């Protein structure tokens, strides 16, 4: 059986732990490969490689580092089809969605290509008599990223693109469910001209995660995953003196105002709720129609839209979405659907009985719709992470603002309306980190930053954009004086500008 190896010091490294994780083909349910799970020794080897590489990589001028990012971008684009097919075969998302996953990561690489500008410091001439003050941003050293299964290309590139461009070296611990694309990205980074050790890929489970969080030579850790694990990563990493950004779960809401273009809102919410089988932290699994009439119209139109959805294998170009990543995850989603029914929500469409002819052992689940969902229900409070859309009805704009604001998660939210004032007030008042106005998945462009509030994010710095540059660098400020040769008396009090 094919074995997926670590990528350390510019080369494939066979695991020595004797422990492996199964890699499934979600379309067929079959095990197609296995991935070696690292020992702490293999993590130590990756850190040692990254430390050696950092000694020279940090001294490479920003423009030359940017050229490596340009070449990396070119290579990823040249290998787009190979990467997308590899991604879909392990994750299950359709090929077009896999290409979108890769492209959104490349947009951060494009931002990293402009890193010389982003690293410019501040300068003040004549801050005092003959004194100039200036600042510079310098890399931290060895950094690490722990990434989830749902975006095996995009999220790693969000992290290592900026980290490497500013002069750090990087250790990536991708999800053990779909690890092939991250390894291929490591190979392409070397092909683009990065020295060996600049980007290492180490596979693993909690053993590897804890080793990363505890290692004294790793200066910063970026994480994306569930909120409970995000909190654990943040707590353990910061206790070890590291800089940590840890992005957690979500329960994003879509507010539908009575004046909204309902037909467009239905199309948008359908794609946001069911696309990628709902396995997105920026999916939109809760729709909040304002007023009974809005709710009834939305429900009727969404039912008609669901009838048109096609679930298929990841290579089917006509399919809207494919299987979920594992049988265990499919069972978890099915359990939540049963829970919602037991809690008293109206199960309008049940996707549990879906089966695809010829692929009966695949990890498929059909689109599911609940109505009359209440805030006290666990299925509302918790992240399902599957193709399940819940309708939670409210009667007023004020209730629509309060619902996502009171939720434990605060990742994303959207409002659908033609009223500019309502949209402006909503964006100002709602207690959520990312807001869409007639945009169902409000993931910011690469030169802005990504980050939620409350239990959706731990740490003070968001992903990518200038926030990413700040996270992966430290500021050094220099106060310089060039005396004219005359001797001055020593000063025994703190200097001031008085």
Q: How confident is the model at residue 320 (pLDDT cuts 50, 70, 90)?
A: very high
What angle in degrees, to the nearest 10, is found between the helix axes of 397-406 and 420-429? 30
| Active-site residue identified among 94, 112, 189, 281 | 281
Find the mean pLDDT for residues 23-42: 97
Find the mean pLDDT for residues 11-24: 94
Q: For residue 241, count CB atoms less than 10 angstroms from its CB and return exposed for 0-12, middle for 13-18, buried for 19 or more.
A: exposed
45 pLDDT exceeds 80? yes
Whether the CB-CB separation of 472 and 163 falls below 8 Å is answered with yes
Q: How high does pLDDT run on average in the chain?
A: 96
Tell me the pTM.
Answer: 0.95
Find the mean pLDDT for residues 238-261: 98
**Sequential DSSP letters for 357-384:** TT-TTS-----EEEES--TTSHHHHS--
Question: What local confidence, expressed as pLDDT, does residue 494 receive?
Answer: 75
Beta-strand runs (E) in 82-167 = 123-128, 131-139, 142-146
Q: Which of 365, 361, 336 is nearest to 24 (CA)?
A: 361
Question: What local confidence, expressed as pLDDT, does residue 485 receive?
Answer: 72
Question: What local confidence, expressed as pLDDT, does residue 493 receive?
Answer: 73
For the chain, first and last CA: distance in Å? 74
**Rounded to whole angstroms, how far apart are CA atoms 180 and 174?**
9
Find the mean pLDDT for residues 159-188: 98
Q: Which of 436, 439, 434 is nearest to 462 (CA)?
A: 434
Question: What local confidence, expressed as pLDDT, does residue 439 receive?
Answer: 96
By residue count, the chain amounts to: 498
**Rounded to whole angstroms, how far apart are CA atoms 374 and 370?**
11
Find the mean pLDDT for residues 149-155: 98
351 pLDDT exceeds 80? yes
Is 113 in the active site? no
Question: What local confidence, expressed as pLDDT, does residue 20 receive?
Answer: 95
- Any bridge partners for residue 223, and if so which? 146, 246
**Rounded to whole angstroms, how far apart are CA atoms 246 and 144?**
12
Question: What local confidence, expressed as pLDDT, does residue 484 receive?
Answer: 76
Question: What local confidence, expressed as pLDDT, does residue 38 receive?
Answer: 96
Whether the CB-CB separation of 441 and 290 falls below 8 Å is answered with no
Among residues of the chain, what percentage have pLDDT more than 70?
99
Q: b/e for 342-378, b at 16 or more Cβ within 10 A? A: eeebeebbbbeeeebeebeebbbbbbbbbbebeeebe
CA 398 to chain CA centroid, Å, is 31
What angle in degrees, to the nearest 10, is found between the helix axes of 62-78 and 180-191? 130
Could you give all domains of the chain from N- to C-terminal order, each with its CATH number? 2-248+456-478 (3.40.605.10), 253-437 (3.40.309.10)
DSSP H/E element including 388: strand 388-391
pLDDT tens-digit readout, 201-233: 999 999 999 999 999 999 999 999 999 999 999
Find the mean pLDDT for residues 255-277: 98
Q: How confident is the model at residue 497 (pLDDT cuts 50, 70, 90)?
A: low
């Amino acid at each position: 059986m094919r074995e997926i190896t670590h990528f350390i010091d510019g080369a494939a490294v066979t695991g020595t732990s004797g422990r492996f994780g199964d890699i499934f083909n979600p379309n067929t349910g079959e095990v197609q490969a296995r991935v070696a799970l690292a020992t702490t020794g293999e993590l130590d080897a990756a850190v040692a490689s990254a430390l050696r590489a950092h000694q020279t990589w940090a001294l490479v001028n920003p423009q030359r580092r940017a050229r490596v990012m340009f070449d990396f971008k070119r290579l990823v684009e040249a290998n787009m089809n190979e990467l997308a097919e590899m991604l879909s075969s392990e994750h299950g998302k359709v090929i077009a969605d896999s290409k979108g996953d890769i492209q959104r990561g490349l947009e951060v690489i494009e931002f990293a290509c402009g890193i010389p500008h982003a690293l410019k410091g501040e300068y003040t001439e004549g801050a005092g008599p003959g004194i100039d003050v200036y600042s510079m941003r310098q890399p931290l050293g060895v950094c690490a990223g722990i990434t989830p299964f749902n975006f095996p290309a995009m999220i790693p590139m969000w992290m290592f693109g900026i980290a490497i461009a500013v002069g750090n070296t990087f250790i990536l611990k991708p999800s053990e469910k779909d690890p092939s694309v991250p390894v291929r990205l490591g190979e392409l980074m070397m092909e683009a001209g990065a020295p060996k050790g600049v980007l290492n890929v180490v596979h693993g489970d909690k053993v590897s995660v804890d080793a990363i969080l505890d290692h004294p030579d790793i200066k910063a850790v970026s994480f994306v995953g569930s909120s409970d694990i995000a909190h654990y990563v943040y707590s353990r990493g910061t206790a070890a003196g590291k800089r940590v950004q840890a992005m957690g779960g979500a329960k994003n809401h879509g507010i539908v105002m009575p004046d909204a273009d309902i037909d467009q809102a239905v199309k948008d919410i359908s794609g946001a709720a069911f696309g990628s089988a709902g396995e997105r932290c920026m999916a939109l699994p809760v729709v909040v129609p304002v007023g009974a009439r809005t709710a009834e119209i939305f429900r009727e139109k969404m039912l008609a839209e669901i009838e048109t959805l096609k679930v298929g294998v990841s290579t089917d170009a006509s399919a809207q979405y494919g299987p979920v990543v594992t049988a265990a995850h499919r069972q978890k989603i099915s359990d939540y659907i049963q829970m919602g029914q037991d809690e008293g929500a109206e199960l309008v469409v049940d996707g549990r009985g879906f089966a695809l002819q010829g692929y009966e052992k695949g990890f498929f689940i059909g689109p599911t719709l609940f109505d009359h969902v209440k805030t006290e229900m666990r299925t509302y409070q918790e992240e399902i992470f599957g193709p399940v859309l819940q309708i939670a009805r409210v009667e007023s704009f004020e209730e629509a603002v309060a619902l996502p604001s009171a939720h434990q998660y605060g990742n994303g939210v959207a409002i659908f309306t033609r009223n500019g004032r309502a949209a402006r007030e909503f964006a100002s008042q709602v207690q959520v980190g990312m807001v869409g106005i007639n945009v169902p998945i409000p993931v910011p462009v690469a030169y802005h930053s990504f980050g939620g509030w409350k239990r959706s994010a731990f740490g003070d710095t968001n992903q990518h954009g200038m926030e990413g540059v700040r996270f992966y660098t430290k500021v050094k400020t220099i106060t310089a004086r060039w005396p004219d040769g005359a001797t001055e008396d020593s000063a025994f009090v703190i200097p001031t500008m008085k």
